C-alpha cells in the first residue's frame, strides 16, 4: 500500500491522499482499508511564554489553554452522500457570543468545518467517535467497537446530536471493503480539508484526477534555475528554497491576502508572526520569482500600519490582531526602512505602479478604508523622518530595537536608549534606502523626495564618525558611549559594504578583510554575527551582496556557496535541521552545549538552533522563511541585479552563470551576456547593463535590433515585453 499525500494548486484548503493498493500474492485477497484523519483543532492564540526551560509546565499549560477554546463550540458529524464526504459541523455553544468577522481578535471565532471526502472508490462504513473506536483496544480490534449497522449507514444527514467540542474527540474515518485478484491493484483517493463554517461543501472536480506530479508541474514555473561552474548543489538548493516559500503560503482572513509567513517558533509556538520587517524581506526575492505573491506580501505589510500614528506593528497574530511582544517591541526603528526598500524594489523590478493606486487599508481596516498604496509609502517616509528621526549624533534613532530585537538588552538605561539611542546599522541601511525611496516618491511628491535626499549627506558624515579605525561601532544608548568599537559585529558591516560611506578609500577594503577573516572564514556555513557566534541568514546573506558591491566577486561567490544548507549538512551532519529547513539563526562551530541540568545534553551545541527562555527556537527549529528567502536574495545580488525606480541595473559578478526566474533570465559567459526581462506593470521601464570590469561593449541588441552603447554601459528602453537583449564584450 502506498500513500501519496499532496496539496493541490490554488486556494483550496485541502490535501489529497492517493492510496494505491496492490495484491502481490498469488491468490485473491479480501480486506478492509480504513482512511483515518483526526480532528485536533488547536487555536494558537498569542502566548509569549511557552518555553519549557526553565519553566517545565509552560508548554503543557499553553496547550491546555488553547485546547480549552474548543468549548466555545458545539460539534456534530454529518454525511453528504452525494459527495461522499464526512463533515464535522460547528456552531457556537449556548450562551457564547463572538465578535463580528471584521473585528480583530486573538482567537479564531469562525473556524472552518473539517471534512473527509472519498473522491475515488466507495466507502462501506463511516466512523467518527475516537472514544468508541479506540476504547481499551488496539487498531486491529477497533472497528468492532462500533456497531456495523451504525458504521455502515451511508444515508445523507447528521449522525449525532451536537455536543461540546471540548477534548476534540471526533475523527473522520471511512472504510472501504476491497477484493483484489492476484497480481492486481486498485487506487482510492481522498480529500481532507475544511470549508467555511456552515457553508456547503464544494469539491474541485480537478481533484478527481490531479496527480502529485501535476501539482509539482504547477509549482515548477515559480522555482528559479541558477547554475555556475564549481557548485552544482546550488541549482538544487535555490530551487528548494523557492519551493519552501511557496508551500508555506497561508491566507490571512482579516487582511484577505495570501502571504508567506515567518513561521518557526514565532508563529507555531508563540502564535505571533513577524517581525513586519521579515514580510518585507520575503517580498524582495518574490518580486523576481513570484511577483503576484510579492504584491500580496506588500499589501499585508501595509495593513500592519496603524491608522492612528502611521507606525508599523512589530508582529501580528490571531484574527487581524497586531502585537508588540508585551510592549517590548512597541517602536522598532527599522520597519519604515524595510517597507520602503521592499516597495521600491517591487515597483522598480516589475513596473507595477498600480500597487500605489490600489486601495489598501490601514489598521484597523475601517479607520481609513480608502487609503492607497501611495498613502502607505508617503506615511512611512514621514514617520521615518518625523518620529523615528535622528539622534544627538545625527544617526537614525534606535527606538525599541533596530534589526536586532534584543539590542536594548545591552543598554544600561533602557528608557534613555529608547528616547535618545541611535543605530549604526539603521543609518547605514538608510543611506541605501533613502535614495531608492526618493526615486519612488519623486513623481508624486518631489518635495518629500528632496527631503529624503537631503538627509543622505549629513547622515553619511554621522556614520563616518562611528569608524573606529578597523570597523564601525554598533550603537549609542543615549549616554554618548559608542558600543562595540572593536568587537567585530556583522550587523554594522553588511550595510556599510552595500553602501559607500567611508572616511577614506582604504577603509572599505579594511572592513571587507575584517568581515572575511574574523566572521566569515572561521564559520563553515555562513558568516557569524559576532566572533564564535551565530549565523543568521537575514544578515549573512547580505554579506554576499556587500562583498559584490565592494568589487570582491571572488569572496561574494565563495561566501554564497558556503552560506548554504548543503554546507551546513557537511559541517554538522548530526543536526537534523539546517539541512532542509531551519530556524532564523543557527549556532556557529564554537557553540558549547548547555549543561545537562539546564537543558539536556546537546542543546545549543554547534550547528543547532539558537535559544532564549522567551523564544524556544529549539522546540520548533524549522520552517523559518528567513532561511529560504535570503539565499534567493543573495542569488539576485550575486547575479548583479540592482533595482532602479523605473527598472533594473545589471552588472554580473560571476563570469559564467545561468539564471531563470519568472521576472528575469540571464545567461552570462566570458565575452557575452544575454537575457529576457518580463515586467508586468504599466510604469516606465529602463534596463541599464554594464560590461565587466576593464571590458568594453562591442555590440548590443534589443529584440535583435542593434543598440548604441557608450563605453562600458548600455541603456535599453524597451516598449515591448518580454524584452530580449544581448551584449558582446571585449577586454
Mean of the per-residue pLDDT values for the chain? 93
306 pLDDT above the threshold of 50: yes
The region of weakest confidence among 132-141, 179-188, 301-310, 433-442 is 132-141
| Peptide bond before residue 275 is cis, with ω within 30 degrees of 0 | yes
End-to-end CA distance of the chain: 62
pTM given for the model: 0.95
The 10s digit of each residue's pLDDT in 499-541 is 999 999 899 999 999 999 999 999 999 999 999 999 999 999 9
146 vs 417, higher pLDDT: 417
Domains in the chain and their CATH numbers? 2-209 (no CATH), 223-252+489-642 (no CATH), 654-730 (2.60.40)
Distance CA 610, CA 601 (A): 15
Give percent of the chain above pLDDT 70.
96
Q: How many CB atoms lie within 10 A of CB 81?
A: 11
Closest CA to 345 of 444, 224, 436: 436
Classify residue 643 as exposed, middle or buried by CB count within 10 Å of its CB (0-12, 13-18, 19+).
buried
Q: Kindly state the cell numbers that stand for 306.
A: 496603524
241 pLDDT above the threshold of 90: yes
Classify residue 6 as exposed, middle or buried by CB count within 10 Å of its CB (0-12, 13-18, 19+).
middle
598 pLDDT above the threshold of 60: no
Strand 705-706 to 664-669 pairing: unpaired
The 10s digit of each residue's pLDDT in 401-455 is 999 999 999 999 999 999 999 999 999 999 999 999 999 999 999 999 999 999 9
Task: Please name the helix (run of DSSP H) or strand (run of DSSP E) that holds residue 126, with its range, or none.
Answer: strand 125-129
Q: Which residues pair with 390 in a beta bridge?
A: 396
287 pLDDT above the threshold of 70: yes
100 pLDDT above the threshold of 60: yes
Closest CA to 540 of 482, 582, 603, 602: 582
Helix (H, G, I), strand (E, B) or coil at 555: helix
161 vs 139, higher pLDDT: 161
For residue 603, the model assigns a pLDDT of 53
User: How is residue 528 annotated by DSSP?
Assistant: -
The 10s digit of each residue's pLDDT in 18-76 is 999 999 999 999 999 999 999 999 999 999 888 877 778 888 999 999 999 999 999 99
Distance CA 229, CA 234 (A): 10
Distance CA 532, CA 519 (A): 8
128 vs 51, higher pLDDT: 128
Structure confidence at residue 12 as a pLDDT band (50, 70, 90): confident
Structure confidence at residue 597 as a pLDDT band (50, 70, 90): very low
- CA 568 centroid distance within chain: 20
**What Cα–Cα distance (Å) separates residue 614 from each residue in 43, 163, 402, 456, 583?**
20, 37, 19, 38, 15
For residue 596, the model assigns a pLDDT of 38
Distance CA 489, CA 483 (A): 10
Averaged pLDDT, 202-211: 93
Averaged pLDDT, 626-654: 96
Q: Is there a contact between 11 and 191 (Cβ–Cβ < 8 Å)?
A: no
Closest CA to 307 of 250, 360, 356: 360
Amino acid at each position: 500500500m502506498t500513500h501519496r499525500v499532496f496539496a493541490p494548486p490554488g486556494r483550496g484548503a485541502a490535501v489529497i491522499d492517493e492510496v494505491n493498493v496492490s495484491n502481490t500474492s498469488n491468490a485473491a485477497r479480501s480486506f478492509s482499508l480504513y482512511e483515518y484523519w483526526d480532528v485536533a483543532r488547536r487555536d494558537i492564540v498569542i502566548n509569549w511564554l511557552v518555553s519549557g526551560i526553565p519553566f517545565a509546565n509552560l508548554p503543557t499549560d499553553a496547550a491546555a489553554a488553547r485546547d480549552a477554546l474548543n468549548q466555545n463550540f458545539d460539534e456534530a458529524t454529518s454525511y453528504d452522500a452525494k459527495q461522499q464526504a464526512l463533515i464535522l459541523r460547528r456552531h457556537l455553544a449556548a450562551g457564547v457570543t463572538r465578535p463580528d468577522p471584521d473585528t480583530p481578535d486573538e482567537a479564531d471565532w469562525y473556524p472552518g468545518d473539517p471534512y473527509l471526502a472519498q473522491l475515488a472508490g466507495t466507502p462501506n462504513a463511516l466512523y467518527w467517535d475516537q472514544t468508541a473506536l479506540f476504547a481499551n483496544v488496539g487498531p486491529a480490534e477497533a472497528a468492532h467497537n462500533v456497531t456495523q449497522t451504525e458504521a455502515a449507514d451511508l444515508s445523507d444527514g447528521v449522525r449525532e446530536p451536537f455536543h461540546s467540542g471540548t477534548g476534540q474527540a471526533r475523527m473522520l474515518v471511512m472504510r472501504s471493503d476491497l477484493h483484489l485478484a492476484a497480481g492486481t491493484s486498485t487506487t482510492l483517493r481522498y480529500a481532507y480539508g475544511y470549508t467555511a463554517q456552515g457553508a456547503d461543501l464544494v469539491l474541485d472536480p480537478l481533484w478527481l484526477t490531479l496527480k502529485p506530479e501535476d501539482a509539482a508541474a504547477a509549482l515548477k514555473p515559480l522555482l528559479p534555475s541558477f547554475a555556475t561552474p564549481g557548485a552544482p548543489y546550488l541549482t538544487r538548493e535555490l530551487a528548494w528554497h523557492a519551493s519552501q516559500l511557496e508551500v508555506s503560503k497561508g491566507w490571512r482572513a482579516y487582511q484577505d491576502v495570501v502571504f508567506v509567513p515567518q513561521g518557526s517558533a514565532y508563529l507555531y509556538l508563540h502564535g505571533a508572526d513577524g517581525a513586519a520587517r521579515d514580510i518585507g524581506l520575503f517580498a524582495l526575492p518574490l518580486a523576481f520569482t513570484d511577483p503576484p505573491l510579492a504584491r500580496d506580501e506588500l499589501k499585508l505589510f501595509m495593513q500592519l500600519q496603524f491608522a492612528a500614528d502611521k507606525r508599523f506593528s512589530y508582529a501580528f497574530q490571531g484574527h487581524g490582531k497586531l502585537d508588540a511582544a508585551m510592549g517590548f517591541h512597541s517602536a522598532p526603528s527599522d520597519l519604515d526602512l524595510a517597507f520602503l526598500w521592499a516597495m521600491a524594489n517591487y515597483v522598480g523590478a516589475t513596473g507595477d505602479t498600480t500597487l500605489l493606486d490600489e486601495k489598501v487599508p490601514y489598521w484597523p481596516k475601517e479607520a481609513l478604508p480608502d487609503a492607497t498604496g501611495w498613502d502607505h509609502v508617503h506615511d512611512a517616509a514621514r514617520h521615518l523622518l518625523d518620529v523615528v528621526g535622528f539622534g544627538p549624533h545625527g544617526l537614525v534613532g534606535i527606538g525599541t530595537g533596530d534589526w536586532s530585537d534584543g539590542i536594548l538588552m545591552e543598554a544600561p538605561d533602557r528608557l534613555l536608549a529608547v528616547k535618545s539611542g541611535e543605530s549604526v546599522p539603521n543609518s547605514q541601511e538608510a543611506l541605501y534606502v533613502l535614495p531608492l525611496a526618493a526615486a519612488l516618491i519623486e513623481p508624486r511628491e518631489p518635495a518629500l523626495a528632496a527631503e529624503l535626499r537631503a538627509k543622505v549627506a549629513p547622515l553619511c558624515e554621522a556614520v563616518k564618525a562611528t569608524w573606529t579605525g578597523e570597523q564601525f561601532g554598533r550603537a549609542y544608548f543615549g549616554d554618548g558611549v559608542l558600543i562595540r568599537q572593536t568587537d567585530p559585529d556583522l550587523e554594522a558591516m553588511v550595510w556599510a559594504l552595500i553602501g559607500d560611506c567611508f572616511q577614506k578609500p582604504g577603509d572599505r577594503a579594511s572592513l571587507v578583510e575584517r568581515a572575511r577573516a574574523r566572521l566569515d572564514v572561521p564559520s563553515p556555513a555562513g558568516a557569524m554575527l559576532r566572533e564564535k557566534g551565530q549565523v543568521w541568514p537575514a544578515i549573512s546573506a547580505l554579506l554576499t551582496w556587500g562583498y559584490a558591491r565592494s568589487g570582491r566577486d571572488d569572496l561574494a561567490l565563495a561566501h554564497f556557496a558556503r552560506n548554504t544548507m548543503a554546507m551546513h549538512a557537511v559541517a554538522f551532519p548530526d543536526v537534523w535541521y539546517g539541512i532542509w529547513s531551519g530556524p532564523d539563526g543557527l549556532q556557529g562551530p564554537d557553540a558549547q552545549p548547555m549543561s545537562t541540568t539546564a537543558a539536556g545534553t546537546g542543546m545549543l551545541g554547534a550547528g543547532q538552533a539558537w535559544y532564549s527562555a522567551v523564544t524556544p527556537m529549539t522546540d520548533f527549529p524549522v520552517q523559518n522563511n528567513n532561511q529560504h528567502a535570503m539565499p534567493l536574495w543573495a542569488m539576485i545580488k550575486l547575479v548583479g541585479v540592482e533595482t532602479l525606480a523605473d527598472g533594473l541595473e545589471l552588472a554580473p559578478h560571476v563570469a559564467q552563470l545561468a539564471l531563470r526566474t519568472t521576472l528575469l533570465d540571464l545567461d552570462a559567459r566570458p565575452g557575452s551576456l544575454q537575457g529576457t526581462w518580463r515586467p508586468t506593470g504599466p510604469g516606465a521601464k529602463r534596463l541599464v547593463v554594464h560590461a565587466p570590469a576593464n571590458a568594453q561593449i562591442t555590440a548590443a541588441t534589443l529584440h535583435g535590433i542593434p543598440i548604441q552603447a557608450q563605453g562600458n554601459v548600455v541603456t535599453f528602453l524597451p516598449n515591448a515585453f518580454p524584452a530580449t537583449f544581448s551584449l558582446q564584450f571585449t577586454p
